[in-house]
Amino acid sequence: LSQTFLDSFEVAKRLGVHYIWIDSLCIIQEGDNYSDWKKEAPMMYQVYTNSFLNVSANWGSSGLFVKRD
């Protein structure tokens, strides 16, 4: 898993959140003409509407946290 996913798990744990939704892990976003994505994407508003916290990232490789000087 990418560092961003691992950092998201850490944030959830620190907030006492037991479940986390990561759309790229929960929805197949490639192959088969994107059939799973086309089916599930219109219902994603329900996940986000009922969520406690939303975290968004453009790219998942570098993580959520950065070191400051």
First to last CA, the chain: 27
Q: Where residue 60 falls among pLDDT bands split at 50, 70, 90?
A: low
pLDDT in tens, 1-39: 888 889 999 999 999 999 998 888 888 877 777 888 888
Q: Which helix (H) or strand (E) holds 40?
A: helix 35-40
What pTM value is reported for the model? 0.72
Residues 6+ apart with CB under 8 A from 30: none
